[in-house]
Structure formats: C-alpha cells, structure tokens
C-alpha cells in the first residue's frame, strides 16, 4: 500500500514539473495576436458548449447560428430613413354599397308566403325584380266584413250597369250615342273598382328584389309568418361591391387624404375614397370608402381599422408590419441583425404607414438590417 502511495506522489510531482517547464519554455513569446483573436467570453462559452442551439446572451441579445437562421427562414432588409407620408388610424365599419344594395319591407301588415322558388334563405343569389315572396293582407273580422260588403255592393252596381248598357245597345238609334258611351265608361270603371277591392280581399302582394345580389338577411322568415307594416323582411347586398364608413375626428381629413387601406386578418384591402359628409356624428366626420380589392374577405357589419395616408410628412424608415414584436413588458421592438450570428432587440416608436407597412420614427439608424420575416420566432428564444 505504501508503494502505491509512493508511486502516486511521484507521478503528481512529475506532472507538476512538466507544467512548470512548459510555462518557462513559452515565457518569452508574444501572445498579442492570440489575445486579439480570442472571442468574447459569452460567445466563447456558447461555442465551447451547445453551439447548435440559439441562446439569449447576458446583455439581452441573441446568438443564433447560421444553420438555425436558415431553418427559421429569417429574412432581413436595410432600414432607410426617408421622408414618408403621415398616416392616421380610423375606426371603420363595412357597410353595403348604397348603389348596389336594397331592402324589402312589408308595405302593410300581413302574412308572408313563399315565392316561386320557395322562401328566400341567406346566401341565395337573386336577380333584380325577382319575386321573393308574397305578402297576403290580414285584418280584423269587422274590416274583412266591410270589404266583402263593399265587394257585394260593387257586384250589384256592375250588374245594373251591364243591363243598362245592353238595353241602350238594343235601342240603337232611339238613344243618344253619348248616353251609350257614358254607360260603357261607367261599366268599365265599376269593373276596375271590383278588381281592386277583390285584390285587397283575396290576392297577395308580390315582394320583388330591388337589386341584384345575395340575400344577406331574412330574419328567419317561414311560410305564414305574420309581419307588421314597415318591418324589414329581406336585405340584399352585392358581395363584390362593399363600402367602408370611417369616423375622422379631424375635420380637415377629407382635404388632406391621399389614400387609404385596411387589414382583414393577413389580407391588405385597398380602399377608394368616395366622399365625406358635412354633418358631424358623435363629434366625428363620417368618411365613405369603397372596397377596391376584389374578393376581399370582409362582410357587412365587420369592424375594420382604416389607415388613411395624408399629405403631411414625417421622417422615418418603412418596414413591414411583421417586423414588429412585443416584449413581456409590452414594449414594441424590432430585431436588428448586427453580426453574422447576433441579433439585438431595439425599442422603437412606430406609426402605421399603410395596411402592410409601418414607419419607424425612432429607434433605428440608417442602414440597420431589420428582421422582416421570423421576428416573432426570435422573441421566443430564451
């Protein structure tokens, strides 16, 4: 056992001597170049460890190896500080285009009955002038009795007028022609009155589509349902012709407006300015836009954020809206690609530029490479 301890101590001593000799052998050399080539301690620690995974460094920046950047599909673009048009965000709502929409209302109290193609349902396409349904008038017992009494009285008067006209025609030459003509006109008038009274008692009023499009609302009407006068029965809109109404709190907005756009999910919608009213609504000026994008994924009644571009100018860098991310503290940041494998978050002050881009007013320098694709993935690195 003593021999083993002796050999172990001898080995340690020999190793110590070898280390001392190595240090002395390199004591006179210049290590300046090696010191200059030594990477930062944080990056060196990662390079010596799990370099294949992205990591957040002590200063808050990110170390993302090139292979991981390709896997995440990161894309960058240089920021250019230029003069941009100032924009204003307005609260808007999608409405049917007044030139292509229509409503069908009950002109009197009655019961609704199916049209030639059945009861109209939501989404059904109709043509202008098409009969959607029939409205049969209803009334109380006394009112119906009075209508039938009027009809019976007209039937009696009509029978007397027909008999008188036949006698006059048989006595041709003995009766003045003016009396024959007067009897014939009286008979025709009574016939028309009978038709109108009979229609009010028995017939139904056809409800026709005032515009071409689709039925957007039918109030779940069923056959035989009773409705009141002026009640909305059907609403027809053209899905390819919609409009947006926005409220502007700047009365001069209509004069300085250049263009406008809106966002529906991930789809940018181009809007064409139509006009502005001259009467305030809730202390705001209503502005009307038409949806210029064909097949836009919007529906009547949907709220939208309208981005109106004006003639006023601001200094900033235009970047895609996807470059913006939120920190845990709620700050708006963009990621800047500073080195080959290093990304830094910059707090910025931004303003909407259009539906797909924003203007960075503060926080970026000219030439900074901003991450435009995959910025949200970088924010998840811990």
Query: What integer pLDDT is reported at residue 315 of this predicted model?
Result: 86
Looking up tokens 């012709």 gives 241
For position 171, what pLDDT does the model report? 81
Q: What does the alpha-carbon distance between residue 304 and residue 167 come to, in Å, rounded to a whole number? A: 77
pLDDT in the model for residue 238: 92
The domain 42-101+239-382 having CATH identifier 3.40.50.170: the answer here is no
Q: Where, residue-wise, is CATH 2.40.420.20 in the chain?
A: 42-101+239-382
Helix (H) or strand (E) holding 90: strand 81-96
**Residue 309's pLDDT is what?**
86
Residues of the chain with CATH 2.40.50.100: 103-237
Say how far residue 90 (Cα) sits from the centre of its chain.
13
Q: At what angle do helices 177-201 and 141-170 cross, to 10 degrees?
A: 160
* Biggest CA-to-CA distance, the chain: 167
* Predicted local confidence at residue 140, as pLDDT: 66
- Determine the pLDDT at residue 228: 92
Which of 246, 322, 275, 215 has the alpha carbon at shortest distance from 88?
246
* Span between the terminal Cα atoms of the chain, in Å: 53
Structure tokens at 303: 């709220």
- Answer CATH for 103-237 from 3.40.50.300, 3.20.20.140, 2.40.50.100, 3.40.50.12280: 2.40.50.100
| DSSP letter (8 states) at residue 38 | P
Are 93 and 303 in contact, with CB atoms under 8 Å apart? yes
Tens-digit pLDDT string for the chain (382 aa): 434 443 443 343 333 333 333 333 333 444 443 433 444 434 444 444 444 688 888 888 899 999 898 988 999 999 999 888 888 888 999 999 988 899 999 998 889 999 999 999 888 999 999 999 999 888 667 777 777 788 888 888 989 989 988 888 888 777 888 888 888 899 899 888 888 777 766 678 899 999 999 998 777 889 989 999 999 999 999 998 999 999 998 888 888 888 898 888 777 899 999 988 888 888 899 999 999 988 888 999 999 989 888 888 888 898 998 899 988 788 899 999 999 899 999 999 888 787 778 889 888 989 999 999 999 888 888 7
* Burial 219-243, CB ≥16 within 10 A → b, else e: eebeeeeebeeeeebbbbbbbebbb
The three-class DSSP label of residue 209 is: coil
From the centroid of its chain, how far is CA 111? 37
* Residue 307, Cβ density class (10 Å: 0-12 exposed, 13-18 middle, ≥19 buried): buried
What pLDDT is attached to residue 34? 40
Among 74, 60, 76, 98, which Cα is nearest to 211's?
98
Tokens of residue 167, six digits = 């006698």
Q: In DSSP terms, which residues pair with 227 in a beta bridge?
A: 110
């Amino acid at each position: 056992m003593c021999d083993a301890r002796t050999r172990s101590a001898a080995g340690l001593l020999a190793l110590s001597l070898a280390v001392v000799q190595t240090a002395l052998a390199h004591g006179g050399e210049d290590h300046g170049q090696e010191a200059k080539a030594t990477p930062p301690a944080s990056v060196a620690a990662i390079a010596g460890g799990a370099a294949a995974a992205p990591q957040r460094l002590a200063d808050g920046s990110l170390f993302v190896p090139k292979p991981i950047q390709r896997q995440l599909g990161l894309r960058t673009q240089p920021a250019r500080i230029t003069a941009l048009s100032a924009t204003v965000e307005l609260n808007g709502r999608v409405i049917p285009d007044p030139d292509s929409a229509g409503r069908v209302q009950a002109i009197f109290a009655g019961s609704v009955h199916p049209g030639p193609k059945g009861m109209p349902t939501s989404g059904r396409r109709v043509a202008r002038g098409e009969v959607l349904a029939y409205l049969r008038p209803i009334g109380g017992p006394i009112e119906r009795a009075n209508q039938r009494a009027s009809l019976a009285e007209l039937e009696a008067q009509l029978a007397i007028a027909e008999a008188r006209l036949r006698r006059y025609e048989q006595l041709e030459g003995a009766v003045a022609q003016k009396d024959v003509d007067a009897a014939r006109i009286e008979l025709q008038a009574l016939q028309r009155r009978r038709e109108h009274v009979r229609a009010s008692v028995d017939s139904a009023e056809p409800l026709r589509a005032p515009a071409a499009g689709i039925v957007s609302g039918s109030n779940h009407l069923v056959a035989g349902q009773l409705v009141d006068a002026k009640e909305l029965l059907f609403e027809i809109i053209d899905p390819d012709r919609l409009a947006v109404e926005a409220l502007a709190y700047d009365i001069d907005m209509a004069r300085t407006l250049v263009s406008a756009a809106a966002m529906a999910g991930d789809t940018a919608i181009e809007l064409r300015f139509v006009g502005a009213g001259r009467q305030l609504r809730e202390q705001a000026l209503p502005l009307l836009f038409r949806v210029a994008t064909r097949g836009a994924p919007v529906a009547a009644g949907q709220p939208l954020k309208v981005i109106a571009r004006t003639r006023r100018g601001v200094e900033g860098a235009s970047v895609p809206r996807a470059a913006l991310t939120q920190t845990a503290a709620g700050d708006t940041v963009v990621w800047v690609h500073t080195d080959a494998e290093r990304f830094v978050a910059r707090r910025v002050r931004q303003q909407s530029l259009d539906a797909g881009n924003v203007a960075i007013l503060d926080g970026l320098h000219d030439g900074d490479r901003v991450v435009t694709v995959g910025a949200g993935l970088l924010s998840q690195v811990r």
